Amino acid sequence: MSSADETLDRIKAQVEEETPNDIEIESVAFEGPELVIYTPDAQTVANRDGIVRNLAQTLRKRINVRPTQEALVPPNEARARITQTIPEDAGVQNLDFDRQTGEVFIEAEKPGRVIGRHGATLDEISASVGWTPEVVRTPPMESSTVSNVRNYLKQEREERRDILQRVGRQINRPTTADEDWVRLTTLGCCREVGRASFILSTPESRILIDCGDKPGAEGEVPYLQAPEALAAGPNSLDAVVLTHAHLDHSALIPILFKYGYDGPIYTTAPTRDLMGLLQLDYLDVASKEGRTPPYESQQVRDALKHTIPLEFGNVTDIAPDIKLTMHNAGHILGSAVCHFHIGEGRYNVAFSGDIHYKDTRLLDGAVNDFPRVETLVLESTYGGKNDYQTDQSDSERVLRDVINEAYEKDGKILIPAFAVGRSQELMLVLEEAMRKGDIPTMPVYLDGMIREATAIHTAYPEYLREDLRQRILYEDENPFLAEQFEQVDGGDEMRQDIADDEPAIILTTSGMVTGGPVMSWLRLLGSDPDNTMAFVGYQAEGTLGRQIQRGQDEITLGDTSGPRAERVSLKMGVETVDGFSGHADRQGLESFVETMHPRPEKILCVHGDESSTNQLSSALYQKFNMRTHNPKNLETFRLS
């Protein structure tokens, strides 16, 4: 008998002891971070006051109660009963039975109507059919990513269960180490922006946090071969934790599966979907540019299959001695500040990932309230001493002026933007300005992945700001579905028609003009002085966006050195509107630390160029009298 089986036997005895005698416990199992209890009396356990809560407290585990096979009404019969129970206006689209877990997934347009008051309808369903109902919202905008991910995970259900059970055994293995230390190693994003990656290790476990690429610097990848990282083999890692989907944090995660890693990835559900979208696009761009991608689409699917989605605020065991809690980071949809609790109160470290301190139209500001935290690893993108951004309301006014001027000239407004985050923020600004009459209502064309990324946002309204969530969910005024937003889906022919037509706004990728449909738009619109290009995001050194911003007035498109190279002389107006960044500015970073509860003892300033991390590090030291560092890559800190 393995030690994991012994542990389970012991836990089963404990569960039996803690539950009333009339409840039969058939078996218990680990699935990922959860302890699953199988019982013919699942309904009673779920409904009787306090049973699950008590078990969770006594066992210090997340508990999931599931019915045994005999307790399940056959699917055909169950389908009929469920359909009768749920009110018609819930808009049920699909019922899907998972025999292994005893769950029935109910996809509906209005989950609230399926759930009922205080869960009354759900209770009625499980009492009647024995299956545990799980409600899934039909995205208000069709998203191929969301449906592809859902279908794929459904298809891989059996293998996923094996993965979860293996992960569960790993997390609950008996601990062997008798020493006590915590170390943190930097594998990238120190004194640079890009290739975010860290290793958090104890004598017992090893966690990889983020694994990104460095935009514009092919081949500069995280130091995964370092002795602290994968040198001991890919499965010396207990877990991968992903703060958010941007490629400078997520691009190289699939390569771990190519190397043979088969452990879990912990992140939020929206980050999982956005990560899939962006990684597949990353492969697409690489092959279009004639580069050999570092992994294949199969490894992107492997990453999805191994992802265990977490909700904000849920404390989760990810290793025998490490608990992870994710909190809203305010940066993009699903982005998280990741808090690690190590040992029984031994040490606490929080990784900010990328943060936005203030509320934006799309998201609440970053959470900085924790039970305990000794070390903070803090991003420093705008940590330089002059990195102050304009207030968003001022930025919006400037943008409205730019649009009004271009409209009066009968021109087009071309806005390059990142598909995820900035585009949705701008859509909200434009929709409101048009609704209030601050700018004329005109078509807003969405080109590239923007529409798809927006659809993913509407599939996860609970991650958006309260007022926006209400608009998407309950009042038929989803701003993203406003009439003026139109998808460009007819290629260059459609673009030509748009260019020949009335004034319009064009939101298009890529955000730094490094490729994608914005290049076609430059060809079509660039030589007409009545048109305007408006930059709303950071333009990195070395990108075409930065060159245009600096006044370069001739650009080469297409095969830049070959015979098909095409020169366009730029006569369109060029404007820069600050203040729409997804990152906290210098003031925001200081405020995040100043109002943080509790104040950490130590801060590592990372994810910024050398002067930014340096200046932020010394400012925080002077202002708050705490130990601060701006580490290089490949440094290791002993935290405890």
| Residue 277 CB partners (closer than 8 Å, separation 6+) | 145, 245, 449, 452, 453, 456
| 167 or 420: CB nearest Zn ion | 420
Distance of closest approach, residue 244 Cβ to Zn ion, in angstroms? 6
597 appears as a binding residue in the annotation? no
Is the CB of 132 or the CB of 279 nearer to Zn ion? 279
Q: Nearest approach, Cβ of 419 to Zn ion (angstroms)?
A: 13
* Of 319, 376, 317, residue with least CA distance to 348: 376
In the complex, what is the shortest distance from the CB of residue 584 to Zn ion, in angstroms, rounded to a whole number?
Answer: 12
Q: Which lies closer to Zn ion via its Cβ, residue 125 or residue 326? A: 326
Residue 629, annotated as binding a ligand: no
Tell me the C-alpha distance between 365 and 396, whole Å. 18
Closer residue to Zn ion in complex, CB, 354/396: 354
Rounded CA gap, 330 and 365, in Å? 5
**Minimum Å distance from CB 246 to Zn ion?**
3
Comparing CA positions, the residue from 138, 106, 91, 111 lying closest to residue 459 is: 138
Between residues 192 and 354, which has the closer beta carbon with respect to Zn ion?
Answer: 354
- Nearest approach in angstroms of CB 548 to Zn ion is 23
Q: How many chain residues bind Zn ion (CB under 5 A)?
A: 2
Per the CB < 8 A criterion, the answer to whether 378 and 604 are in contact is: yes
Q: CB of residue 582 vs Zn ion: minimum separation in angstroms?
A: 6
568 contacts 591 by C-beta, under 8 angstroms: no
- Check whether 306 is labelled as a binding-site residue: no
Q: For the chain, give the number of residues.
A: 640
In whole angstroms, the minimum distance from the beta carbon of 408 to Zn ion comes to: 36
Give whichever of 137 and 246 is closer to Zn ion, judged by the CB atom.
246
Burial of 12 by CB count in 10 Å (0-12 exposed, 13-18 middle, 19+ buried)? middle
Q: Which helix (H) or strand (E) holds 505?
A: strand 505-508
Burial state string for 413-439 with b = 16 or more CB within 10 A and e = fewer than 16: bbbbbbbbbbbbbbbbbbbebbeeebb
**Could you tell me the smallest distance in angstroms from the CB atom of residue 354 to Zn ion?**
4
Dihedral class, residue 71 (left if φ above 0, else alpha if ψ from -120 to 50, else beta)? alpha
CA–CA gap between residue 451 and residue 508 (Å, rounded): 10
Dihedral angle sign, alpha carbons of residues 64, 70, 71, 74: positive
Q: Is residue 493 classed exposed, middle or buried when 0-12, 13-18 and 19+ CB atoms within 10 A define those classes? A: exposed
Residue 246 or residue 471: which is nearer to Zn ion going by CB? 246
Query: Helix H segments across 228-310?
Result: 247-250, 253-258, 269-288, 297-305
- Contact letters for Zn ion, residues 190-229 (x by CB under 5 A): ----------------------------------------
* Residue 425 near residue 362, CB atoms below 8 Å: yes
* Residue 327 is labelled as binding a ligand: no
For residue 212, the minimal CB distance to Zn ion (Å) is 9
169-177, 303-311, 352-360, 628-636 -> range binding Zn ion (CB under 5 A) = 352-360
Residue number with CB closer to Zn ion (172 or 612): 612
Q: Site for Zn ion (CB under 5 A): which residue of 41, 238, 317, 354?
A: 354
> Of 16-35, which residues contact Zn ion (CB under 5 A)?
none
Helix (H, G, I), strand (E, B) or coil at 55: helix
Distance CA 539, CA 51 (A): 55
CB of residue 612 to Zn ion, shortest distance in Å: 15
The window from 54-62, 215-223, 239-247, 466-474 that contacts Zn ion (CB under 5 A) reads: 239-247
Beta carbon nearer to Zn ion, 150 or 246 = 246
Binding characters for Zn ion, 418-447, by CB under 5 A (x = yes): ------------------------------
Shortest approach of Zn ion to residue 194 CB, angstroms?
A: 10
Q: Which is nearer to Zn ion, 72 or 196 (CB)?
A: 196
| Among the residue ranges 255-263, 321-329, 350-358, 527-535, the one whose residues contact Zn ion (CB under 5 A) | 350-358
Least distance between Zn ion and beta carbon 415 (Å):
19
Residue at shortest CB range from Zn ion: 246
Secondary structure E strands in 553-623: 554-557, 566-569, 573-576, 602-606
Give the H or E element holding residue 422. helix 422-435
Does residue 327 bind Zn ion (CB under 5 A)?
Answer: no
Segment contacting Zn ion by CB under 5 A, of 96-104, 224-232, 341-349, 351-359 = 351-359
- Tokens at 243, concatenated: 């703060």
Q: Which two tokens stand for residue 137?
A: 């919202």
Q: Please check if 467 is assigned to a binding site.
A: no
Q: Is 607 annotated as a binding residue?
A: yes
Do 356 and 363 touch, CB atoms closer than 8 A? yes
Q: Work out how close the CB of 305 gets to Zn ion at its nearest, in angstroms, rounded to a whole number.
A: 24
DSSP state of 219: T
Query: How many angstroms separate the Cα of 491 from the Cα of each of 66, 487, 498, 558?
Result: 50, 11, 11, 16
Which among 154-162, 230-238, 241-249, 540-548 is the span making contact with Zn ion, rule CB under 5 A?
241-249
According to CB under 5 A, which one of 246, 341, 356, 607 is a site residue for Zn ion? 246
249 annotated ligand binder: yes
The residues that bridge with 136 in the sheet, in sequence order, are 107
Which residue's CB is nearer to Zn ion, number 34 or number 354? 354
**What's the token pair of residue 151?**
């279908």
- Residue 597, SS3? strand
Cα–chain center distance at 429? 22
- 201 or 267: whose CB is closer to Zn ion? 267
Of 248 and 317, the one with the shorter C-beta distance to Zn ion is 248
Q: Which chain residues interact with Zn ion by CB under 5 A?
A: 246, 354
Query: Which residues are part of a known binding site for Zn(2+)?
Result: 244, 246, 248-249, 331, 354, 607
Query: Which residues are part of a known binding site?
Result: 244, 246, 248-249, 331, 354, 607
